[in-house]
Amino acid sequence: MADRKAMLERIRESFDISRRDAAQIVKNFHVEMKRGLEGRQSSLKMIPTYVDRPTGREKGKFIALDLGGTNFRLLALELKGGGRISVRLIRNFALRKEHITKKGTGLFDLLASSVKAFLKKSGFANSRDINLGFTFSFPIAQSGIASGTLVAWTKGFNAKGVVGKDVVSLLEQALVRNGISHVKVRALANDTVGTLIARSYSDHDCDVGVIIGTGTNACYAEKVKNIKKWEGPAPRTDNMIINIEWGNFNKLKLSCYDRLLDGKSGNPGEQIMEKMVSGMYLGKLCGIVLKDLVEKKYILHFLPRKASSKIAMLRSEDISAIQADKTGSLAGVRNILENIGIRLSSREDRKIIKEVCAIISRRAARICAAAVVSVIRKIDPFILRKHTIAIDGSVYEKYTGFSSNMRSFVKEILGAKACRLRLVLSKDGSGKGAAIIAAVANCEGA
Ligand code: GLC
């Protein structure tokens, strides 16, 4: 028993993020942000997006195509001005493994044929020209409001022949191959940018967009004079949204378990923060820690050593459900274990499993809180103004205790000034935002 207590204490320590750690994260974040903005070597790519926030007056009918994970979605919507958006139709589509890992043309053909089918249902089919906003949530080096090349795949994607190519051209070619010539791709956006833009269409305090889902990332409105690497024409406003790609931030304290996870991943050394925070990895990370505890005989003693990897089958949704189990006997945890083939467990085992999941997800929420504070302090060092932080993503929205852990750590770090920050769940913004950018591009005749 004493052993188990000491073991849990060690795990707690290796996943702890104190206020002092948060201060260090903010400092490192600022160094990396500045380097990225200067075009120097940095784990933060700080990608200029060619757009600023909308005025709220943009109008028109648009289609949005939103690809960022194993699902993609299409939206038909109308911007009515005055910050009002009416969504006419939304459809979700699932990608199969072959779309993610085989030839890129297969992926883009699927997107194009889905657009074709969707147009028939949207009521827009007869319009002469249809403007499309394309949300593509991977690191893109943008070369215009509607062009940009894929720098690297993340989140387990590996479709061939896409890295280094302009993804808008790939989509347009696929549309033509599929017999669609009246759809024009007017905007290319990251999901964080879409989320920020969609919220700021009606909320002028919004200057940060965050995604905490399968992957994690954020963007914010930066003064153009601070974007030292920017060589393009000065935009009309003095600001431009920067896609930080914070999932790649690597100045964080790693535990031995994080190193194991990173080593086994398809992109070792990359997306370090994402591997500590996002839905794609939280389950895997808990699985690695728990497997170690099984092998060291701290939990589930009766499980034969060769069956220890069963515990590593937990998914992020399971981790969330484990934490939500408030029953005295932890019957919910028992069910989840049974589902992955572990039929026997003691209450003490289940208690430890629940505690480990809580430790790991609490760290994820605290890292996100420190990263949000870093971004706000970059925009407004003394936090003199109000800021809305628009957040979307399954982990933030659904994961037990995640958003409240995040808010309470923001409060701990900032004290009274935390009341100037509003963290708001902004659903479906990624697609809507791309449509708004398309509207901005349309007004500017881009
Ligand atoms: C990954 C992508 C990034 C995206 C994030 C959230 O980190 O690289 O572009 O914004 O996932 O979907």
For 230-263, the pLDDT digits (tens) are 998 777 888 999 999 999 999 999 999 999 999 9
CA of 346 to the centre of ligand 1 (A): 39
Domain ranges of the chain: 47-202+428-438
Residue from 211, 241, 250 to probe ligand 1 pocket by mutation (most atoms less than 8 Å from CB)? 211
CA of 213 to the centre of ligand 1 (A): 9
Cβ of residue 139 lying under 6 Å from some atom of ligand 1: yes
Q: What is the pLDDT of residues 88-103, one digit of tens each?
A: 899 999 999 999 999 9
Q: What is the pLDDT of residues 291-336, one digit of tens each?
A: 999 999 999 988 887 788 899 999 999 999 999 999 999 999 999 9
pLDDT band at 419 (very low <50, low <70, confident <90, very high): very high
The pLDDT value recorded for residue 108 is 97
> Does CATH number 3.40.640.10 belong to domain 47-202+428-438?
no
Residue 134 backbone dihedrals phi, psi, to 5 degrees: -115, 110
Q: What is the pLDDT of residues 377-413, one digit of tens each?
A: 999 999 999 999 999 999 999 999 999 999 999 999 9
Q: Whose CA is nearest to atom 12 of ligand 1?
A: 215
The per-residue pLDDT of the chain, averaged, comes to 94
Q: What is the pLDDT of residues 157-203, one digit of tens each?
A: 999 999 999 999 999 999 999 999 999 999 999 999 999 999 999 99
Cβ of residue 137 lying under 6 Å from some atom of ligand 1: yes
Distance of CA 417 to the CA centre of its chain: 26
Active site residues: 155, 191
Give 263-283 as a DSSP string: HHSSSTTSSHHHHHHSHHHHH
CA of 44 to the centre of ligand 1 (A): 12
pLDDT band at 445 (very low <50, low <70, confident <90, very high): very low
Cβ of residue 372 lying under 6 Å from some atom of ligand 1: no
The pLDDT value recorded for residue 125 is 66
Cβ of residue 148 lying under 6 Å from some atom of ligand 1: no
**pTM confidence score:** 0.95
Greater pLDDT, 440 or 418 = 418
Greater pLDDT, 83 or 210 = 210
**Percent of the chain at pLDDT exceeding 90:** 85
The pLDDT value recorded for residue 34 is 98
> Which residues have C-beta within 8 Å of that of residue 393, sequence separation ≥ 6?
210, 211, 212, 213, 214, 216, 279
Q: Please state, in angstroms and rounded to a whole number, the distance separating the CA atoms of residues 187 and 375.
A: 25
> Which residues have C-beta within 8 Å of that of residue 405, sequence separation ≥ 6?
361, 362, 365, 366, 369
Cβ of residue 157 lying under 6 Å from some atom of ligand 1: no
